[in-house]
Amino acid sequence: MSLHLKSAAELGRGIRAGEYSSEEVARHFLDRIDQGNDRLNAFVTVTAERALEDARRADAAIKAGEGGALTGVPLAHKDIFCTSKILTTCGSKMLSNFVSPYDATVVERLAAAGTVLLGKTNMDEFAMGSSNETSFYGPVRNPWDENRVPGGSSGGSAAAVAARLAPVATGTDTGGSIRQPAALTGLTGVKPTYGRVSRYGMIAFASSLDQGGVLAQSAEDAALLLEAIAGFDPRDSTSVDAPVPAYATQLDRPVKGLKVGIIREFFGEGLDPATGDAVQAALEVYRSLGAELVELSLPALPLSVPTYYVVAPAECSSNLSRFDGVRFGYRCEDPKDLLDLYTRSRGEGFGAEVKRRIMTGTYVLSAGYYDAYYLKAQKVRNLINADFKRAFTEVDVLLGPTCPTPAFGIGAKVDDPITMYLNDIYTIGANLAGLPALSAPCGLVDGLPVGLQVIGPHFAESRVLAVAHAYQRETDWHRRIPPAWA
């Protein structure tokens, strides 16, 4: 079997068993990137030399009898994670020349686990987008249909793994930016509980929502990677000091007897019928495995998109005020005074969607409007949170669609921000409430992947992963590869 058809877990086992070296694996994926990236635009930076160095170090470690499950396994990082000595652009002209002085904790931990860095992946600018079309580096194409979007904002990571240019990749999720692209490209993407994965060195968009995670080929791979990146970090003041379970060893927990909540609000108007059918079929698999399906209502949940589009822009307008053209990042030519330096550096350095969100945030936080917009949204956020809390007193997990439709065409939604924002209608709730959630592939509609979403209570990553794993033992949707990339 070709190396790119193997999962990250299989590659790790093969390297440890001496079936092939990490260097061979790295060269194989670098070749695929070389041949495929022009078509997909999944990578902003390819780190070929670094990959080979990492791989040789991994091979030496294995030879010395050291190394773990991920030693020698190649991966790609979303270009939102700071990497020392390598460009970190965040998909923006603002940071097109930025080399971080340090590594993000996620980067550091995966390097310590012996992984091999293939490169940095394209993304919506500052993670603001649902289609990867807001990137300064151009749109990423979906390997299942190159005229369609891969989703966003972790669109480069999604396309890279879906096309098997990398066996696994990191991502971040503020309103669905891991789960939505995972759904649209047929991957398993997990966003852990808020505070589970350190945000140190992960460029901030909306600090009360942002959370790092992974895009993988299966729940098993996702569990392995999450285990490596999760855990307390004193350098992130919101990092939670709680032990990290060995996710990969808890995957086989049975779903028999599990109470599964089906959110009525996720199956209403706006859900594409064929997508709904694929999700219903997945629910039947759970029923056949002995799970008890319970329909329930979360009445405040339909307000999650408007809540998000007040809270997230407000936080982004504050976070992105650090880009001033003085200390790092883009600076305009010949500023005539300090105000001109600020306004032109920011006006020229940020793209249209980022500017739109900064202005939305500035407005909702401004004197006279703060109570009506920002405070109101934070109260509604609490109502949504209370809905989830109530649901988890009745059920163990919630299941539903990840997205209302399969991947849409490049350019189809760029003119109307509201239509674009509504793509995240099923994913935003988990961010507002800080819950762990995952998307796993559960079917194809006209040759395009559909995602099943699993949402769990705080810190129930093990359960969420096991629920997805149980499904992946019964079905083979997660093994499907875009025909052009097999």
Partner 1 sequence: MTLTRRDVENIALLARLRITDEELPGYVGSLSRILEFVEQLSSAETGEVEPMAHPLEDQVQRLRPDEPTETDHRELYQRNAPAVEAGLYIVPKVIE
The answer to whether 264 contacts partner 1 (rule: CB under 8 A) is no
Q: 362: number of CA atoms within 13 Å, CB side?
A: 8
Size of the site for partner 1 (CB under 8 A): 75
Q: Which is nearer to partner 1, 72 or 329 (CB)?
A: 329
Buried b (16+ CB within 10 A) or exposed e, 138-164: ebbbbbbbbebbbbbbbbbbbbbbbbb
State how beta strands 259-263 and 292-296 pair: parallel
Out of 20, 28, 93, 98, point to the residue binding partner 1 (CB under 8 A). 98
Alpha-carbon distance of 372 to 366, in angstroms, equals 10
CB of 438 to partner 1, least distance (A): 17
Q: Which stretch binds partner 1 (CB under 8 A): 41-49, 98-106, 174-182, 264-272?
A: 98-106
Binding mask 421-460 for partner 1 (x = CB under 8 A): x---------xxxx-----------------------x--
CB of 377 to partner 1, least distance (A): 6
Out of 18, 63, 85, 99, point to the residue binding partner 1 (CB under 8 A). 99
Out of 340, 409, 474, 486, point to the residue binding partner 1 (CB under 8 A). 340
Considering only residues 58 to 87 of the shown chain, the ones binding partner 1 according to CB under 8 A are: none
Q: Which is nearer to partner 1, 249 or 321 (CB)?
A: 321
The answer to whether 344 contacts partner 1 (rule: CB under 8 A) is yes
175: left (phi over 0), alpha (psi -120 to 50) or beta: alpha
Q: To which H or E segment does residue 55 belong?
A: helix 48-63
The answer to whether 346 contacts partner 1 (rule: CB under 8 A) is yes
| Three-state secondary structure of 271-319 | CCHHHHHHHHHHHHHHHHCCCEEEEECCCCHHHHHHHHHHHHHHHHHHH
Q: Which stretch binds partner 1 (CB under 8 A): 122-130, 145-153, 274-282, 350-358?
A: 350-358
Binding mask 222-261 for partner 1 (x = CB under 8 A): ------------x--xx-xx--------------------
The phi and psi torsions of 409 (rounded to 5 degrees) equal -70, 150
Cα-based torsion angle of the residue sequence 364, 365, 371, 376 in order, rounded to the nearest 10 degrees: 60
Q: 479: number of CA atoms within 13 Å, CB side?
A: 8
Q: 147: number of CA atoms within 13 Å, CB side?
A: 2
In 3-state terms, what secondary structure has residue 49?
Answer: helix
Considering only residues 153 to 172 of the shown chain, the ones binding partner 1 according to CB under 8 A are: none
Out of 101, 273, 368, 483, point to the residue binding partner 1 (CB under 8 A). 101
Q: Which is nearer to partner 1, 59 or 424 (CB)?
A: 424
Considering only residues 298 to 337 of the shown chain, the ones binding partner 1 according to CB under 8 A are: 300, 303, 306-307, 309-310, 317, 321, 324-331, 335-337
- Answer for the pair 148, 122: CB distance below 8 angstroms, yes or no: no
The answer to whether 179 contacts partner 1 (rule: CB under 8 A) is no
Alpha-carbon distance of 271 to 172, in angstroms, equals 25
Q: Which is nearer to partner 1, 42 or 433 (CB)?
A: 433
**Which residues participate in catalysis according to the annotation?**
78, 153, 177
Considering only residues 110 to 149 of the shown chain, the ones binding partner 1 according to CB under 8 A are: none
81, β-bridge pairs:
202
Q: Which is nearer to partner 1, 5 or 386 (CB)?
A: 386
The answer to whether 411 contacts partner 1 (rule: CB under 8 A) is no
Q: Which is nearer to partner 1, 98 or 267 (CB)?
A: 98
Q: Which is nearer to partner 1, 404 or 482 (CB)?
A: 404
CB of 38 to partner 1, least distance (A): 29
In 3-state terms, what secondary structure has residue 83?
Answer: coil
CB of 418 to partner 1, least distance (A): 5
Considering only residues 184 to 223 of the shown chain, the ones binding partner 1 according to CB under 8 A are: 193-195, 208-209
CB of 125 to partner 1, least distance (A): 14
Alpha-carbon distance of 105 to 112, in angstroms, equals 10
CB of 338 to partner 1, least distance (A): 5
Q: Which residues, 6+ apart, have CB-to-CB distance to 448 below 8 Å?
A: 144, 145, 148, 184, 406, 407
Look at the alpha carbons of 95, 100, 106, 110 in this order and tell me if their dihedral is positive or negative.
Answer: positive
- Answer for the pair 485, 163: CB distance below 8 angstroms, yes or no: yes
> For residue 87, what are its two tokens?
């460009």
The answer to whether 392 contacts partner 1 (rule: CB under 8 A) is no
The answer to whether 343 contacts partner 1 (rule: CB under 8 A) is yes
Q: Which is nearer to partner 1, 52 or 383 (CB)?
A: 383
Considering only residues 351 to 390 of the shown chain, the ones binding partner 1 according to CB under 8 A are: 352, 355-356, 358-360, 362-364, 366, 372-373, 375-383, 385
CB of 260 to partner 1, least distance (A): 23
The phi and psi torsions of 259 (rounded to 5 degrees) equal -95, 115
CB of 36 to partner 1, least distance (A): 32
Buried b (16+ CB within 10 A) or exposed e, 444-466: bbeebbbbbbbbbbbbbbbbbbb
